[in-house]
Structure formats: structure tokens, C-alpha cells
Amino acid sequence: MGGTAHLCYPEGMKFGVLVFPGSNCDHDTYNVIEQIAHQPVTMLWHESEDLEGCDAILVPGGFAYGDYLRTGAIAHFAPVMQSVKRFAASGGLVLGICNGFQILCESGLLPGALMRNAGLKYICKQVHLRTETTDSSFTNALKQGQVLQIPIGHMEGNYFCDAASLDELQRNNRVVLRYSSPDGEITAAANPNGSLDNIAGICSAGGNVIGMMPHPERAAEPELGCVDGWKVFQSLVGAMATR
């Protein structure tokens, strides 16, 4: 499996993948945890407040509630998200991918918002990302400045926040990933959606919540053409193993 299989971690970890009406990457995310990380994982339905004793929560991509009103806005009120907010406040690990990132921002777990892409077109392609920090539960298996190739697929991936929030993100090393050229240059040409400061992923002040627009679950097996996305999950599982 190109270095992604036969990894052994302590038992006792349990992952939960949220499922909303319109989620379409839930099974892909579930598969990475079950088939590649070889860890217990369960689906968590949006109408339930029970996180079933999970140690990490994954908020997958898709179109929660059809993206009506505003992407992620309705999911913010789902019973399961009320539990996720309490879980995150207690230090629990939460990863939001694409629509999951939008939901985390709408829920106030991460600052800022995801707006329509510059150019107002849906974008689905491979992009390059520069690792901005390894001091997080989601990037500790990477190296500072390491460039990853991971696909995106979104209409609203244009990250925006006010000047004070951006300054806080930059000062406290909370920008986790930036869109870059293949050699790691942060340029306007490498920015696929107009995101402020080329931001592709950020983390919470406590470092236990991360949102990212690219889809690591779509780049976690050799059969998918790339395994760079696996490093995000490898970091997460490794962080859980040391808790």
C-alpha cells in the first residue's frame, strides 16, 4: 500500500465520521480509518447528540443539507454539532474537510468564512500545499515546508477573515497549510480559489480543531494516484496514540 498499510498503533482509539443529509465523502473518510489506519470507526448521524465515546471526530466533505441558505449554515444547528462543540471545548480532536471546514467555521469552532471561489466556478483538480507548521495533531508526521499534492473539489473554498483574525492566525502559527507551487512558492498563480493569504487550512487556538479545503481522503492510497493525504491521517492517529 505504498507505506500506508501494516501500521500498528495502541488499541483503544475510536473515530467518528459525521453524516449529514448530503454528505458524500463520509464513506471515503471511513474507509481511510478502517482499511488503512486499521482503527475502530463509526458513523455518527446528524440527528443524534451521542458521540458514542469517540476520541476524534471527522467532519467529511459533501453538501450538508444541500448547501441551502449558505454552506454549512444549517449543519451548525444539527444536534450532533452541539455535542461536537462541547467535545472540541474539552480538547477533543476534530478534523473538518471541505464542507466540514465550512461547517466548523459556521459553528464558530474556527474563525472566518468560506466564500464563493474567485471566478465563481466549481474547481476540481490537484493542488499543491505547503506545510506551514508541524506543531499540530494533524501535521506532526510532516516536515516544515513539505509540499503535498492533494485534490480539491469545491465551489466555496475562498477563505476570508477580518484583519485582526488573520493577524492572530499568523502570529500564533495557526495557518496549517497554504496553496503553493510544486516547489513551495506561495504565489497568486498557485491560489486556486482566491483564499486570503493562500490559506488552505487553519487550526483552532488550542490546536485540536483543524479545517482544510483539500481532500486528504482522496489521496490516501496508491490506487488513487497519490498518498500525500494519508500523512494527515497518520499525524492524527499518531497524536491520538500519544495522548
From the list 106, 132, 156, 217, the catalytic residue is: 217
Hey, what amino acid is at 165? S
- Residue 169 is classified by DSSP as H
22: left (phi over 0), alpha (psi -120 to 50) or beta: left
Buried b (16+ CB within 10 A) or exposed e, 39-58: bbbeebebeeeebeebbbbb
From the list 98, 161, 203, 226, the catalytic residue is: 98
Q: Is 215 a catalytic residue?
A: yes
Q: Is 98 a catalytic residue?
A: yes
> How many angstroms separate the Cα of 103 from the Cα of each of 35, 38, 72, 207?
26, 27, 4, 17
Residues with Cβ within 8 Å of 21's Cβ and at least 6 positions away in sequence, in order, are 46, 64, 65, 66
Q: Is 38 a catalytic residue?
A: no
Q: With beta carbons less than 8 A apart as the criterion, state whether 75 and 65 touch.
A: yes
Rounded Cα distance, 164 and 13, in Å: 37
Rounded Cα distance, 69 and 73, in Å: 7
From the list 105, 161, 215, 221, the catalytic residue is: 215
The catalytic residues are: 98, 215, 217
